[in-house]
């Protein structure tokens, strides 16, 4: 194909079809968007009839995917808040350390036992450790769990994960690109990432009154431009100091969540979040060639099993340390299962450093499996908890108590907040304090 607009139109039609099928089957849309991307793309042969290789438009689709990550994380930050993050600081440090410690150790051992050389094993450890910020954010929003008690811990672990990624990538790049490790460079990269995050959060608290006045803009068009300008400028600046742009978007959302304009910003962001978020997952699938994945099936299945076990153990330990119930801790373990864009970044560094091509095949199949399995397990976390509870006996089954009650589902209550509608027509709950729909994400059944 040669016409970019025509290609974009076809891509949107495929995404719309995937969304329609997901809606009809009542399954998460993320896996179907990835599979839809894999089903078409540059790896397809030229049939001469209807060319779906998207060669001219792929850079544009990839860029729109990057924008989708920004909006997903920005919205997630708005649903959280800086005050809540500060209150949960110790829990986040403890939970993140537990998660990284368990999964990185397991990944390093697995890579070594699978026969990979040391540098490839180090890459495998990062690929199997870093969870997908975008997929987790999308799943939390889709399942309306942003106000669940365990979501605070999940978001904190994601942020800890991204800080670890900055340090890890500095080490991996030094090893595979230059052939040597500079201790000074590694330390500087880590301190820069942590310092940037700390400065943004501290400044956000200090300038909140000023932000309230700045955003008091009558014009909807100007208000939208100001918000989007702040989002892209902060993400771009973070990228220049080696802090992931997704983390910057999340930080800006956290800062603006404590302003008087949070609800207005949410209403502006939601349509862009939904559209560009869908493009991101389609573009991710578009970059995968299904015919190159066959040789990695065995080692990927072992890694997936190890990841599921490691995440569940980490979720239980982190959740229990934070005082959460076994059910909430189970939700943590399954929600952080997805792997995606950040694992692909690590694989690209390995490729640039000339590491074994087996790392690429492993990454593609591993990410695909967990990008599909993660949202499905999260959606069915209630059943996962029941199965685990039957084995570990966390909560005894009382005579006459239903399985629904055992799963911790809330009974209908007359005090339940009234429901209203958010942009796009999804019904949401609005708490009594008038703070908008932070409570709309509460999923009492999970």
Q: How far apart are CA 430 and CA 411, in angstroms?
A: 18
Closest listed residue to residue 68, CA positions, set 306, 267, 284, 254: 284
Determine the Cα–Cα distance for residues 213 and 336; give it in Å rounded to an integer. Answer: 38
Residue 57 CA to residue 359 CA, distance in Å, equals 27
- Give Cα 218 distance to the centre of its chain: 34
Cα 248 vs. chain centroid, distance in angstroms? 14
Of 89, 119, 114, 443, residue with least CA distance to 306: 114
As a dihedral over the C-alpha atoms of residue 344, residue 75, residue 193, residue 225, rounded to 10 degrees, the angle is 110
Determine the angle formed by the axes of helices 151-177 and 297-321, rounding to 10 degrees.
130
Contact between 150 and 331 under an 8 Å Cβ cutoff? The reply is yes
pLDDT reported for residue 439: 39
Q: Name 179's Cβ contacts closer than 8 Å, sequence gap at least 6.
A: none
Q: Which of 54, 95, 57 is nearest to 336 (CA)?
A: 95
Q: How much is the pLDDT for 420?
A: 38
Cα 203 off chain centre by: 25
* Predicted pLDDT at 416: 39
Sorted by sequence, the CB contacts under 8 Å of residue 148 that are 6+ apart come out as: 328, 331, 441, 442, 443, 446
Report the length, in residues, of the chain.
446
Pick the closest to residue 165 from 122, 116, 130 (CA basis).
130
In angstroms, what CA-CA distances link 67 with 36, 63, 91, 263, 309? 20, 6, 30, 21, 33
Question: Rounded to whole angstroms, how far apart are CA atoms 45 and 394?
Answer: 54
d(CA 78, CA 348): 31
Cβ-Cβ contacts under 8 Å for 321 (sequence gap 6 or more): 91, 94, 95, 98
Cα-to-chain-centroid distance, residue 337: 10
Under 8 Å between Cβ of 307 and 337: yes
Q: Is residue 154 left, alpha or beta, with left meaning phi > 0 and alpha meaning psi from -120 to 50?
A: alpha
Q: CA angle at residue 282 from 428 to 280, to 5 degrees?
A: 65
Structure tokens at 224: 């939208």
Instruction: Tell me the C-alpha distance between 204 and 145, whole Å.
Output: 25
Structure token digits, residue 273? 């979040």
CA proximity to 36, closest of 49, 23, 52: 52
Q: Which residue has the tokens 């302003």?
A: 259
- Tokens matching residue 170: 């500095």
Q: What is the pLDDT of residue 406?
A: 47
Per-residue pLDDT of the chain (446 residues; tens, 9 = 90+): 567 888 889 899 999 999 899 888 877 677 788 888 888 877 776 666 666 778 788 889 989 988 988 898 788 788 766 676 666 677 778 888 889 999 999 999 999 999 998 888 989 999 999 888 778 877 888 788 877 888 888 888 887 887 787 678 767 766 666 555 566 666 666 677 677 777 887 888 888 889 999 999 999 999 999 999 999 998 888 777 767 677 788 888 888 988 899 999 999 999 998 899 889 888 878 877 777 777 788 999 999 999 999 999 999 998 888 888 999 999 999 999 988 777 877 887 787 778 888 887 888 789 888 988 888 899 889 999 999 988 888 877 655 554 544 444 444 444 434 333 333 333 333 333 333 344 344 444 44
pLDDT of residue 220: 92
CA distance 59 to 57: 6
Indicate the SS3 state at residue 193. helix
User: What angle do helix axes 245-256 and 58-79 make, rounded to 10 degrees?
Assistant: 30
């Amino acid at each position: 194909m040669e016409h970019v607009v025509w290609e974009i139109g076809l891509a949107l039609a495929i995404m719309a079809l995937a969304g329609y099928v997901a809606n009809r089957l009542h399954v998460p849309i993320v896996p179907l968007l990835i599979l839809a991307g894999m089903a078409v793309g540059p790896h397809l042969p030229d049939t001469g009839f209807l060319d779906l290789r998207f060669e001219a438009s792929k850079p544009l689709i990839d860029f729109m995917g990057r924008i989708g990550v920004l909006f997903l994380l920005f919205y997630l930050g708005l649903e959280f808040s800086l005050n809540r993050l500060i209150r949960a600081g110790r829990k986040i440090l403890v939970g993140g350390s537990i998660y990284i410690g368990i999964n990185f150790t397991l990944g390093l051992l697995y890579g070594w036992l699978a026969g990979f050389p040391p540098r490839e094993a180090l890459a495998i450890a990062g690929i199997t450790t870093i969870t997908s910020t975008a997929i987790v954010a999308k799943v939390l929003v889709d399942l309306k769990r942003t106000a669940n008690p365990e979501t605070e811990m999940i978001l904190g672990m994601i942020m800890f994960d991204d800080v670890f990624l900055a340090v890890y990538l500095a080490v991996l790049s030094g090893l595979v690109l230059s052939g040597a490790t500079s201790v000074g460079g590694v330390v500087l990269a880590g301190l820069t990432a942590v310092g940037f995050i700390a400065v943004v959060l501290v400044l956000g608290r200090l300038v909140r009154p000023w932000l309230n006045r700045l955003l008091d803009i009558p014009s909807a068009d100007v208000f939208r431009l100001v918000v989007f300008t702040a989002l892209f400028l902060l993400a771009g600046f973070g990228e220049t100091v080696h802090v992931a742009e997704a983390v910057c978007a999340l930080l800006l959302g956290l800062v603006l969540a404590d302003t008087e304009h949070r609800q207005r910003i949410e209403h502006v962001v939601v349509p862009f979040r939904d559209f560009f978020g869908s493009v991101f997952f389609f573009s991710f699938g578009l970059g995968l060639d299904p015919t190159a994945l066959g040789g990695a099936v065995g080692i990927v299945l072992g890694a997936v099993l190890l990841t599921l076990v490691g995440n569940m153990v980490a979720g239980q330990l982190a959740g229990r340390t934070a005082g959460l119930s076994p059910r909430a801790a189970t939700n943590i373990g399954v929600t952080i299962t997805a792997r995606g864009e950040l694992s692909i970044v690590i694989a690209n560094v390995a490729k640039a450093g000339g590491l074994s091509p087996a790392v690429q095949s492993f990454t593609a199949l591993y990410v695909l499996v967990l990008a599909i399995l993660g949202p499905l397990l999260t959606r069915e976390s209630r059943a996962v908890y029941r199965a685990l509870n039957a084995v570990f006996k966390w909560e005894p089954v009382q005579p006459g108590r239903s399985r629904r009650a055992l799963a911790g589902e809330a009974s209908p209550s007359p005090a339940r907040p009234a429901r209203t509608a958010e942009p796009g027509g999804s019904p949401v709950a609005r708490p009594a304090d008038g703070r908008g729909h932070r409570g709309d994400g509460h999923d009492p059944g999970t």
